[in-house]
Homo-oligomer: A and B are copies of this chain.
Amino acid sequence: MTFEIAIGSNIRKSPYFAATLRAGVRSFSVYNHMYIPAHFGDPDAEYRRLMGGVAMWDVAAQRQVELVGPDAARLAQILTPRNLAGTKVGQGRYVPICDHDGFLINDPVLLKLAENRFWLSVADSDLHLWALAIARERGFDVRVLEPDVSPLAVQGPRAEAVIAALFGDWVRDLRYFWFRETALDGIPLVLARSGWSKQGGFELYLTDSSRGEELWNRVAAAGAPFDIGPGAPNDVERVESGLVSYGSDMRRQVTPADPFEMGLGGLVDFAGGHDFVGRDALTRLAVRGPARRRVGLWVDGAPAAPGNPVRIDLDGAEAGVMSEMVFSQRLARTIGIGLIRADLRDDTSGLTAALPDGPVPVYPAPLPFR
């Protein structure tokens, strides 16, 4: 099904918007109240480029929530069950954020820019409002704001070569999730080794939106010898790799899930003794054990993707949810990702996904798919 997207003033355009038009963007989605390219006309070619070459993605919709001021570190720590004690300036951490009942409300990367300044690089929910409420209700001395920051991702096995050509060989020593504040011919940005794929790469957090065109063009030019091309966060790769997609795999209002169910229990740190929102609820959940577990799913045949999460059944009763389904050219099979009852082992037979055209057999698989 293809429909037009309405371009209106209630949804923001990225600083790379015009550049993506010139690059031939064909389809948009909306993320954090901003247009984000979905594909440029040939999703299969974009997948191959990500897996074997290098792609550039407008991910400005991955907005930042900045915490700055005397209590910024205190607020950052209270927001996440992960223990931030050892985090250094220049280091990023993947930080699940939970509400008081232990349900995930976002899963950003935290960038520690200074002892009293942090960015939360957020998935698709208004974490800004949450962080504001927590900060002000607790009387913290901290500002919570959305800075002028627009990430551009460079992803794929040849990403490092492109980034080294742009910034120099020091980028090769940048460790995963670490970053450095730098500039490219005066274009200010934060360069991080990160990105929403498992193919390696970098994110350029542009800090002056008036220079989006310049940055896009610089990256495209430096990438040309490596056959760089435009792309977008790739659903096939993310399902194959088992990346979490907040909004698809879970969303607080609609499909609540806790970190233990999502396989993020290892990041919940009770031992450190630090306080965080949801600590009591997560303690209870940890004792009880998760009701569901995250799995890959082999899907029989090549049915049409439903475009939304679907129920998984066993013997006529609900046994889980398949949150996304794609056809993997690489694996030559249809695969999905979702949550099933924790007591169901990988060799469970009889599971079916309630696709629009009828139930289809599915088989649990470890993540990532191999």
Binding site for B on A (CB under 8 A): 1-13, 21, 25-31, 33, 38-39, 63, 99-100, 105, 124-130, 132-134, 136-138, 145-146, 235, 245, 247-248, 251-254, 306-309, 323-324
CB pair B307–A13 under 8 Å, yes or no, is yes
Give the CA-CA distance A162 to B356 in the complex, in Å: 33
CB pair A124–B10 under 8 Å, yes or no, is yes
Q: In the complex, how many angstroms separate the beta carbon of A206 from the nearest chain B beta carbon? A: 16
Give the CA-CA distance A312 to B193 in the complex, in Å: 40
A127: chain B residues within 8 A (beta carbon): 129
A1: chain B residues within 8 A (beta carbon): 7, 21
Give the CA-CA distance A146 to B252 in the complex, in Å: 9
Interface pairs (5), CB distance under 8 Å: A4-B26, A4-B38, A6-B38, A12-B308, A130-B130
Chain copies in complex: 2
Q: In the complex, how many angstroms separate the beta carbon of A120 from the nearest chain B beta carbon? A: 12
CB pair B2–A4 under 8 Å, yes or no, is yes
CB pair A308–B100 under 8 Å, yes or no, is no
CB pair A6–B39 under 8 Å, yes or no, is yes
CB pair A30–B27 under 8 Å, yes or no, is no
For A39, the closest partner residue in chain B by CB is B6
CB pair B126–A248 under 8 Å, yes or no, is no
A306: chain B residues within 8 A (beta carbon): 9
A63: chain B residues within 8 A (beta carbon): 253
CB pair B133–A252 under 8 Å, yes or no, is no
A129: chain B residues within 8 A (beta carbon): 99, 105, 125-127, 129-130, 133, 252
Q: In the complex, how many angstroms separate the beta carbon of A239 from the nearest chain B beta carbon? A: 10
CB pair B8–A5 under 8 Å, yes or no, is no
Q: In the complex, how many angstroms separate the beta carbon of A231 from the nearest chain B beta carbon? A: 13
6 new A-B contacts, CB < 8 A, other than A4-B27, A4-B38, A8-B235, are: A3-B25, A3-B28, A8-B248, A9-B306, A128-B252, A146-B253
